[in-house]
A and B are shown apart, each in its own frame.
Chain A
Amino acid sequence: MKSNGLHISARQDFIRRGGELIGRSLLFSVASVSAVAVLFIFYFIAKDAFPFFNQEGYGEFFTSPNWYPTGHPPEFGALAIFFGSALVTTGAVVFSVPLGVAAAMCLSDILPFWMRQIFKPTIEILAAIPSVAYGFFALVVFAPLLQENGGFALATGIWIVGLPVATIGVVVMSDVITSMLPFRSKPAALTLGLALLLEAGVILTLFKTSSALYGMEISSGTNALNVSIILGIMALPTIVSVSEDALQSVGRELREGSYALGATRAETIIKVVLPASISGILAAVILGIMRAIGETMVVWMASGNAARIPTPFYNLLQPVRTLTATIAGDMGEADHVTGSSRYHVLFAMAFCLLLFSFAMNLITEAFTRRYRKKLGK
């Protein structure tokens, strides 16, 4: 039977449908490569991680701070390493979250459109710089600087951050306190006096702290502080762009409603926009944490790589060692002893990292979904 172009025979129809089915399943199989990859990553990391736990047990790895993988007998206590990862990540978050969220607010609500167009590429370029370049900067430029002028830099930093923040706090405090006093009209002189008094206290405290910091000797520039700052800078682009997305997704209506009630811009952002987008901002923070904890080169090059818990534990000026740096640094030596505990312990660490980032991912996903739902998108 000949086809005349319009009529489709049963056979052609079959071929066409079959072809489409095959095409679809081909497309599906390519699309699921990433899913297969995730499964494979979990499987192959776990496969090499569990021999370690079988050989050495769980107790020492998670509770002992003694990391002597080459000793006789070897000790595989990774507590100090876990702590190092946690410490630098916390430092990075403390550094980058306030800065990043403030920048996101400014980008989404305060700056005019054309300025936003200028600053967005800046953020992208900050995100594009390779981690090894950050590491190089941390090790070759920043570490000597920190070692020689660290005390001065810290003292200046305290003033730059502390003074404006504390001053704003003082103004608010004095205003609130005087309005609580039983006067009919608020006496301006009293408010002013109170503010000056509090401000004097603030300056005194700052002065004491900064002079203590100024006199401090920093024995090595490759320490947790250095790494925290650089990791913070690396996490900034993620935090800014994700939280800006979250802030933007809060519609105009909410903002306009707030303005109509007489709120200032700051009050609108803090009391209306921020609560509405809080899950998105939390997602941004978590993504920032993931970026910081998974980063290898910077910590490997500039953290000092000393596997012990600093004394006191919050001392950022001592060298630390992180999970990623341990994996990167030890695998070169453990590579030719494939099969030994020393090889498998690195996979155990990678497995912990993997589980952590997976959990964080699920949480982020839940948060993002929640704020999308809340805003009806």
Chain B
Amino acid sequence: MDLRTRKLLDKSFSALGVIAILFMALFLVVILAPIIAKGSGAFIFRGTVEYRKLMFDIWNRGDEKALAEEMQIVAKARKPVYEMMDDFRRELAAMPSSERRKYRRALNDVEKNIENLLGPNPDDREPVLMRQRYGQTRWDMARKHLKDVLYATEWDYSGGMGVKVYVPRQDFFTGTSIEELFPYIEENIDAMMAPRLTLYLRFLTDDSRDSHFFGGIWPELLGTIYLTLGAMLFAVPMGVIAAIYFCEYAKQGLVISYLRICITTLAGVPSIVFGLFGLAFFLNTIRVSESKSVLAGSLTLALLILPTIIRASEEAIMAVPSTYKEAALSLGAGKWRTVMTVILPAALPGILTGIVISMGRAAGETAPIIFTAAVSVGKALNLDEVFTNPSPALPWNIYNLCTEHEAVDQIRHVQFGMVFSLIAVVLFLNITAIVVRARVQKNLRN
């Protein structure tokens, strides 16, 4: 081959590698960016007056007097809306029946959408469901619902495939007394909703209300904390002891190589199989609890992360210079004492790194807890209930809310908030591990 061609190939080869790495970085950004951007919307958003009313009604938060004043101002801005609708109802009653039917249906639609946006008519009885008791609490959602008030959605099939078209409702009602309603709402939506920048950090520590329409994610978060800590409680002692055995006591032989194959096999078992095993063994055979429980889930997760912990601890123990060990032994310390007083302290940062990384893994795993620990709806558990009760958990409820919830589109902010919280926890753990390890490596090099 020509020398120039070879050089060109060499350069393009390097470029290929760099592009591959840049692609990986790009994936990371592309995946994290929307989750962080929209997830932070669960914590910082423009809350409407409905949000403040809700907070006061449920948790007694906020200044009662200020709220009452604000409610008055808002009610004043909303009053013409209800008046115009009343007027139109009267006008409707006087219409010939064919006209009346046509308008009646359209008016129902408008009423429903306005109720969605502003909450129930103040003169009506209070609805049963909490989600019907309040209007839109978030400004971004209010804007969406405003569009539903102003425009009717229709499908245009003229081109074969159905195309969504938005038809202004005002056109439909032209010539009636309600015509003025639409421009009025559009212009005065700010006064009617009073959006204000809100920081809702208690999203993390509030219970959810009315199946996640309102409130926070505390039961899920707490469930995840229980499950993770429970798993660590079982896996860490076992994993570290196993690593000590493999590094310091075991002699190379058939049994040990068999054990090692078992560990790699365990690491390769698909997580859903762990879930089935947890169901078949912990719940159906030895019956650690009557139903699904945090305990069963923790045990299953512990098995899942055991190989990771063993490997990380082994590596950390191996990395301790053998001079340490020799010095301790030459001072007359026994093997066990050497391990406990010299090797383990020296290997501790490495072991901790492994533990922290597997904590992140345990917190994020979904498949093993589906059949063993997770429920879709539940209260935050007390510590003594974890042995018998199932709990909601972040990973499972993320799945549940974005696939099985009755109003998937209306609680997007909760879903994103949950994913954001989960990722924040996991990334925090991992970044801690990365930083600790970098420190340790620096120390070792010195």
Contacts and interface: CB of A to CB of B under 8 A. Distances in A.
Contacts of A171: 5, 8-9
A254 interface: no
Contacts of B423: 129-130, 133
Contacts of B415: 136, 140
Nearest to B29: A122
Interface in A124-140: 124-126, 128-137, 139-140
A358 B364 contact: no
A264 interface: yes
A106 to B, nearest CB: 3
A23 B339 CA distance: 13
B434 A124 contact: yes
Contact of B271 (A27, A135, A267, A296): A296
B69 interface: no
Contacts of B399: 132, 135-136, 297, 300-301
Contacts of A328: 272, 275, 367, 370
Judged by DSSP, the binding face of B is: helix
Judged by DSSP, the binding face of A is: helix
Given A38-B266, A41-B277, A331-B370, A106 B17 contact: yes
Interface stretch (B80-88, B173-181, B198-206, B236-244): B236-244
Contacts of B274: 41
A58 interface: no
Contact of A102 (B20, B31, B395, B403): B20
Nearest to B418: A136
Contacts of B419: 132-133, 136
Given A139-B403, A354-B269, A130 B262 contact: no
Contact of B273 (A23, A100, A168, A353): A353
A125 B371 CA distance: 28
B268 A106 contact: no
A122 B422 contact: no
Contacts of A358: 265, 268
B360 interface: yes
A320 interface: no
A137 B412 CA distance: 12
B426 A28 contact: no
A92 to B, nearest CB: 13
Given A38-B266, A358-B265, A361-B264, A27 B402 contact: no
Contacts of B163: none
Nearest to A27: B245
A133 B269 contact: no
Contacts of A102: 16-17, 19-20
B260 to A, nearest CB: 9
B387 interface: no
Interface stretch (A59-67, A147-155, A172-180): A172-180
A23 B419 CA distance: 45
Contact of A34 (B271, B310, B363): B310
B270 A137 contact: no
A296 B272 contact: yes
A115 to B, nearest CB: 9
Given A30-B238, A136-B415, A176-B1, A44 B281 contact: yes
Contacts of A100: 20
A81 interface: no
Kindly name the residue among B8, B35, B268, B279 whose own CB sees the greatest number of chain A CB atoms within 10 A: B268
A24 B365 CA distance: 34
B412 to A, nearest CB: 8
Interface string B5-22: 111111011101111110
B92 interface: no
A141 B24 contact: no
B80 to A, nearest CB: 38
Nearest to B404: A332
A136 to B, nearest CB: 5
Contact of B272 (A27, A40, A175, A327): A327
Nearest to A120: B434
A301 B402 contact: yes
Interface in B302-331: 303, 306-307, 310
A41 B278 CA distance: 9
A175 B3 CA distance: 10
A132 B370 CA distance: 12
Interface string A323-348: 01001100110010010000000110
A236 interface: yes
Contact of A233 (B27, B238, B258, B412): B27
Contacts of A175: 1-2, 5
Contacts of B396: 132
A136 B259 CA distance: 37
A200 interface: no
A125 B303 contact: no
Contacts of B430: 124-125, 128
Nearest to A30: B241
Interface string B350-380: 0000000100110111110011000000000
Contacts of B16: 102, 106, 164
B376 to A, nearest CB: 10
B12 A240 contact: no
B233 interface: no
A300 B271 CA distance: 13
A361 B21 contact: no
Ranked nearest first, the 3 interchain pairs of A and B with the lowest CB-CB distance are A130-B364, A106-B17, A294-B270
Given A27-B241, A34-B310, A266-B10, 5 more contacts: A44-B281, A119-B21, A132-B422, A354-B273, A357-B265
13 contacts: A23-B336, A40-B277, A48-B280, A99-B20, A100-B20, A121-B434, A131-B364, A132-B366, A136-B415, A175-B1, A293-B270, A294-B272, A331-B370
Interface of B: 1-2, 5-10, 12-14, 16-21, 23-25, 27-28, 31-32, 34-35, 237-238, 241-242, 244-246, 249-250, 258-259, 261-266, 268-277, 279-281, 284-285, 303, 306-307, 310, 336, 357, 360-361, 363-367, 370-371, 395-396, 398-399, 402-403, 412, 415-416, 419, 422-423, 426-427, 429-431, 434
Interface of A: 20, 23-24, 27-28, 30-35, 37-41, 44-45, 47-48, 98-100, 102-103, 105-107, 110-111, 119, 121-126, 128-137, 139-141, 164, 168, 171-172, 175-176, 179, 186, 191, 233, 236, 240, 264-267, 269-270, 287, 290, 293-297, 300-301, 324, 327-328, 331-332, 335, 338, 346-347, 350, 353-354, 357-358, 360-362, 364-365
